[in-house]
Amino acid sequence: MKRLLIDYSLIGHGRKFELTLLRREREGLEVGSRVEVVGDSVPPRIAEVTAVSPDEKVFEFAFAD
Amino acid sequence: MQIILRRDPGPADDETVLIHMGAGAADVAVAAALRNYRSYRGLSSRGGEFTVSVFAVMAGVTEAMILDAMPHPQFGRARFAAVRDRFALLPTTVLGTPVPDEVMAAHFDVVLPAAGLVLPPDFDPSEAEDEDLDGIRAVLIASVAELLALFEPRFRR
């Protein structure tokens, strides 16, 4: 499972969020893929890809836990 | 990610407290700065900006409101003047986030100096090969370390 470092300062307590992913991060990800999300001192969580932008750079996630 | 620049001169009082959420992990800040770089192209004379989010305790936004809006168990405080003396700050509102509007109204981006980096105007980290990003990470990690040191010590809530 891929591991993504994220800044929760722009997510807060939201259940859904969008990220622009770097080339290596988005390899192999598609709608339905699950990733481990790691923030700065926030315990790791699992999130699922729910949508991908047409240019395949911006991914929408929803926390799965 | 859509960002607007507020008509906000920033805190009137140099003693105003800025909050950086989290334990101060530089790698997390650098990862976010790379991801969001291009979102700042409209506010930049370059193709973007590398930034770190902070929140100001000002204009009716209390420290408790900021902390309640965030999941981080740790945070750091710094005086506005201490940060402004060493970094540029942009009063920015990031649209479409789950962060409450009243807290987002106190959001500022600290612009990370990227001395030595010469990037083309159309540089897009999301299109770059990972090995090409390593040199940028190395520069940013030094800037982030300098910034986050201003927010020491970290407090648990």
Q: What is the DSSP letter of B123?
A: -
Torsion angle, alpha carbons of A3, B142, B56, A37, to 10: 0
**pLDDT of res. B23:** 93
Rounded distance between C-alpha atoms, residue A17 and residue A36, angstroms: 14
Count of domains observed in chain B: 1
Sketch out chain A's domains with CATH numbers.
Answer: 2-63 (2.40.240.20)
Look at residue B71 in the predicted model and tell me its pLDDT.
Answer: 96
pLDDT, tens digit (0-9, with 9 covering 90-100), for B79-102:
999 999 999 999 999 998 999 999
Q: What is the amino acid identity at position B80? A: F
Q: Hey, which bits of A1-65 come out as E strands?
A: 2-5, 16-20, 34-38, 45-52, 58-63
Report yes or no: A14 and A37 within 8 Å, Cβ to Cβ. no
Q: How confident is the model at residue B115 (pLDDT cuts 50, 70, 90)?
A: confident
pTM of the model: 0.94
How far, rounded to the nearest angstrom, does the alpha carbon of residue B26 sit from its chain's CA centroid?
12
Say if B25 is an interface residue toward chain A (CB within 8 Å).
yes
Confidence (pLDDT) at B132 = 85
Residue B135 lies inside a defined structural domain of this protein = yes
- From chain A, the residues in CB contact with B69 under 8 A are 12-13
User: Is residue B4's pLDDT more than 90?
Assistant: yes
Residues of B (84-113) whose Cβ lies below 8 Å from A: 94, 96-100, 103
What is the pLDDT at residue B8?
85
Asked if the Cβ–Cβ distance from B130 to A17 is below 8 Å, we say: no
CA-to-CA separations, B59 to B3, B16, B17, B104, in angstroms, rounded: 20, 10, 12, 12
- Most distant pair of Cα atoms in chain B: their distance: 45
Q: How far is residue A8's CA from residue A14's CA, in Å, rounded to a whole number?
A: 9
Does residue B117 lie within any of the structural domains?
yes
| pLDDT at res. B116 | 79
A17-46, pLDDT tens digit by residue? Answer: 999 999 999 999 999 999 999 999 999 999
Q: Answer whether residue B14 is part of any domain.
A: no
Q: Please give the share of chain A, as a percent, with pLDDT higher than 70.
A: 100
**Within a 10 A sphere around the Cβ of A61, how many other Cβ atoms?**
25
CB distance B64 to B139 below 8 Å: no
B133 CB within 8 Å of a chain A CB: yes
- In degrees and rounded to multiples of 5, residue B103 shows phi and psi of -80, -40
pLDDT of the residue at B41: 92
Is residue B81, in this structure, part of any structural domain at all?
yes
In three-state secondary structure terms, B111 is strand
Q: Using one digit for the tens of pLDDT, what is the confidence trace for B27-64?
A: 999 999 999 999 999 998 888 999 999 999 998 999 99
Domain that holds residue B107: 2-8+22-151
